[in-house]
Structure 1
Amino acid sequence: MTERKTSVVVLGGGPGGYEAALVAAHLGASVTVVDRDGLGGAAVLTDCVPSKTLISVGDFMQRFEAATDLGVGFEAAHAGEEATADASRVNARILALAAAQSHDIEQRLLSEGVRVCRGVGRVLAPGRVRIEVESGGTEDVDAEVVLVATGATPRVMDTARPDGRRILTWQQIYALEELPERLVVVGSGVTGAELAHAYLGLGSEVTLVSSRDRVLPGEDADAAEVIENVFRRRGMTVLNRSRMASVVRAGDGVAVTLEDGRTVEGSHCLLAVGSVPQTAGLGLEEAGVELTGSGHIKVDRVSRTSARGIYAAGDCTGVLPLASVAAMQGRIAMAHALGDAVTPLNLRGVSANIFTDPEIATVGYSQTDIDEGKVDAHTVMLPLATNPRAKMQNVHDGFVKLFARKGIGTVVGGVVVAPRASELIYPVTLAVQHRLTVDQLAGTFTVYPSMSGSIAEAARRLHTID
């Protein structure tokens, strides 16, 4: 007799959704993914993959400016020529890469037997989902397990309405056919800082409007100071303690009015003022799913909502807006729902990265946590300027910072500010995840010369602290 398969319906095909679908399929469930915009979600189509590709182009162009410091010049025939970015070609490549990644994800799901349905899903009740099919009509589906992974969308303000041409959200910039001549970026969080850095590298004149005392206010203060100094040194105008009041079209450009009455003019304005969860109209509250005041779905550490059989993952939960966290939430949800071994989500083990130049990578407890007494730990900060590999690569900015619990020396967190910090944070993440001591970290061989040598050196210095 054939065993009946558990029916799973996933609303949303982003990292939380498609990773959950793969786990559910591997565990023998009958899986349907309902997706409107394309597999991969915003992370692949309009956010992570496109923005990091744009940043990589800007970084590539910055290397030309630094070439003379390395003793590299250009032939006389090309003297005076500068590297320039063709926005239409750059954006066409970005969108092609995103589409290819989305296609690969869809093919992977189909190969695992997952049904992909184009449309929008709504929860009628626990165990029942209605799909409004893109091609027309509706379909009601029984679902013993429902995962909501509908993500978030850029926050829009009444005083700054995007038009997709001159006033833009981060999802609209890839339609530009010309590079913004004078770009005003409103918002100095991760998205604002990354894209301000990208367009500065591409050749735009950039003004960054920050309502806080510094850029990246939610990050390590030492790391944020490095990035802000680099921004200013490379020609960016950074306006701290400057809250935007409104943005309007002004002729062929834009006018950004600040709350103190000042006006900043530019050719384009990029709004990076946060996001809102896409949870409205899904029937969640009617089905017994509890939401926060901001509209996020309340979940526990195994991604359960307040309604039996309904789970949630990703940006719609407000847990941590990272694709890696969304994917982990989705995987945990399916393991729990389908009876597999499961480890609850541990946010202390999450490594995150900001793709500026240099990058900022973090994991575990922060300097603020230590300063506020949340963990009793020692701190060591080692500038990269003394690292031989950094000198070879003309790296002047950055550092390695490690946090170790007092008395036992367990690594509880760290910060790396460096080129490719996203790669360098991995050994620190392993140490945090597996509760390694600074002696174990320091006693592991590193290549000489290498940037990772500074991680081992920082660990050795922590050994001598009482």
Structure 2
Amino acid sequence: MTERVVIIGAGPGGYEAAHVAAQLGADVTLVYSDGVGGSAVLTDCVPSKTLIATAEVMTELREASELGVRFEDQEGDAATTVNVDLARVNERVKQLATDQSSDIQARLERDGVTLLCGHGTLAGPDSVEVELASGGEKLLRADAVLVATGASPRTLAGAQPDGERILTWEQVYDLTDVPEHLVVVGSGVTGAEFASAYLALGIEVTLVSSRDRVLPGEDADAAAVLEEVLTRRGMNVLSKSRMESVSRDGDLVTVTLTDGRSVQGSHCILALGSIPNTGDLGLEEAGVNLNEGGFISVDRVSRTSARGVYAAGDCTGVLMLASVAAMQGRIAMWHFLGDAVHPLDLRKVSSNVFTAPEIATVGWSQQAVDAGEIDAEVVMLPLSGNPRAKMQGVHDGFVKLFCRPGAGIVVGGVVVAPRASELIHPVSIAVAESLTADQLAQVFTVYPSMTGSIAEAARRLHRV
């Protein structure tokens, strides 16, 4: 008998699970309310990284003079400014998101997945009640249910977005005029990425951080490099500054801090974290346990506390990355449908902060080594000595590798560089396959290349 799978949520956790389940012969229905692709495609990852792609070009243009590039106006005089058409940038951002959503939907339809637009609610562990967007209701029987409803930007009572001047990160793409002074509240990954991007677009940026440094959850050496670069490029970073409220008076936005100080700007982005979309889904009534933050509790194969109910993605709070959501969704379907499955291993997850420079990490961290959670040798190699970096005018960044003493197995790494998201891959392979530093070092690298620094760092971990 064909297994019936119902998936609530069409983000990476949902649509990737649908592909796997369809491939394995299940009858799959995907219920979505916010568009195919979810927030990752429509309001988060795809839009933000498209905006950042423009910011990268702006950064390269501003630093091109070091490489001998000279811009001239029509009269032959040296051009001194580079401007951005924010309305056009955001138009492109939204169009790419829409196109990506359409591509995903077309592939789901080719796979035979039934798509229902509406709000899905568990009517027990083996059925889903769908309130259709077109009107009416539909009851779906299921042998397995996957909940992949994602999360939403967190707001506070004293800092409510208005969608015009006080914005969440999902609302910035409606801006048509370039902000005169942007205040970003929150120095985690989202806050740092937007602050870095808008700074590169030529906008005055103040970053309000409640912690003693930018990116408190990332490698401390990497965060220090980024903060030094952002400050050098003109960003005003207010550390140990906790926001109390945000208010607007006409075109002026005021961020009031708990110590009585205030910062004024033309716009404010709230990057205060995320809250799970787990309300009004009938989860607890169906026997699904939620933790104190409202996230769905799951094991390493994406099972919840209710038999036959799985969960994937940001609504689980496991690790808020699109790649992790997608893998959780795949694992859930592999497990339910009896295919070969490996439980989720967060030590093999590579992640990236899309700032300028980027910060990519995988495996065990410096913090874990310093805390004695793992015994590891560490080597950090600045990029300033890399010949390709010199050619490209790259002065900031490094490669850091962690390996086990004796065995020499690579257990982690950090890369801080332009496009570190691409450079981390060989380190990710080494961590995933338990390669030694010697094995990593003995692989040929192109000369000159940034990856040459990864091999060089591995060579420095060699022990006779």
* TM-score bin, normalised by smaller chain: over 0.9
- The equivalences for 1:55-454 within 5 A come to 55-75=52-72, 77=76, 79-80=78-79, 82-454=81-453
- TM-score (norm: length of structure 1): 0.98
Secondary structure (helix, strand or coil) at the match of 1:72 reads coil
Secondary structure (helix, strand or coil) at the match of 2:57 reads helix
Residue in structure 1 matched with residue 31 of structure 2 by the alignment: 34
For residues 59-118 of structure 1, the C-alpha deviation after alignment (integer angstroms, 9 at most, x for no partner) is: 111222111111111235253352211111110100000000000000000000000110
Secondary structure (helix, strand or coil) at the match of 2:138 reads strand
| Code of the aligned partner of 1:308 | R
Structure 1 stretch displaced more, 151-160 or 250-259: 250-259
| 1-structure distance, mates of 2:417, 2:86 | 27
| 2-structure distance, mates of 1:390, 1:143 | 55
| 2-structure distance, mates of 1:304, 1:442 | 39
Residue in structure 2 matched with residue 13 of structure 1 by the alignment: 10
| 1-structure distance, mates of 2:389, 2:251 | 44
- 1:23 pairs with 2:20: yes
For residues 318-346 of structure 1, the C-alpha deviation after alignment (integer angstroms, 9 at most, x for no partner) is: 00000000000000000001111110000
| 2-structure distance, mates of 1:225, 1:191 | 17
| 2-structure distance, mates of 1:50, 1:423 | 19
Shift of 1:155: 0.2
Secondary structure (helix, strand or coil) at the match of 1:238 reads strand
Shift of 1:180: 1.1
| Code of the aligned partner of 1:444 | V
| 2-structure distance, mates of 1:293, 1:187 | 22
For residues 386-441 of structure 1, the C-alpha deviation after alignment (integer angstroms, 9 at most, x for no partner) is: 00000000000000000000111000000000111001100000000000000100
| 2-structure distance, mates of 1:147, 1:194 | 31
Structure 1 stretch displaced more, 331-340 or 60-69: 60-69
Secondary structure (helix, strand or coil) at the match of 2:281 reads coil
| 2-structure distance, mates of 1:444, 1:236 | 40
| 2-structure distance, mates of 1:395, 1:10 | 46
| Code of the aligned partner of 2:148 | A
Secondary structure (helix, strand or coil) at the match of 2:63 reads helix
Shift of 1:151: 0.1
| 2-structure distance, mates of 1:95, 1:378 | 45
In structure 2, the gaps of 5 or more residues are none
Percent pairwise identity = 66
For residues 223-252 of structure 1, the C-alpha deviation after alignment (integer angstroms, 9 at most, x for no partner) is: 000000000000000000000000000231
| Code of the aligned partner of 2:51 | L
Secondary structure (helix, strand or coil) at the match of 1:130 reads strand
| 2-structure distance, mates of 1:77, 1:95 | 36
In structure 1, the gaps of 5 or more residues are none
Structure 1 stretch displaced more, 145-154 or 251-260: 251-260
| 2-structure distance, mates of 1:74, 1:19 | 46
Secondary structure (helix, strand or coil) at the match of 2:123 reads strand
| 2-structure distance, mates of 1:236, 1:358 | 14
Secondary structure (helix, strand or coil) at the match of 2:284 reads coil
| 2-structure distance, mates of 1:204, 1:237 | 12
| Code of the aligned partner of 1:336 | H
| 1-structure distance, mates of 2:401, 2:249 | 48
- The aligned length equals 462
| 1-structure distance, mates of 2:241, 2:49 | 27
For residues 160-192 of structure 1, the C-alpha deviation after alignment (integer angstroms, 9 at most, x for no partner) is: 000000100000000111111100000000000
| 2-structure distance, mates of 1:78, 1:43 | 44
| Code of the aligned partner of 1:58 | A
| Code of the aligned partner of 1:184 | V
| Code of the aligned partner of 2:271 | A
| 2-structure distance, mates of 1:25, 1:287 | 25
| 2-structure distance, mates of 1:65, 1:421 | 20
| Code of the aligned partner of 2:274 | S
Secondary structure (helix, strand or coil) at the match of 1:462 reads coil
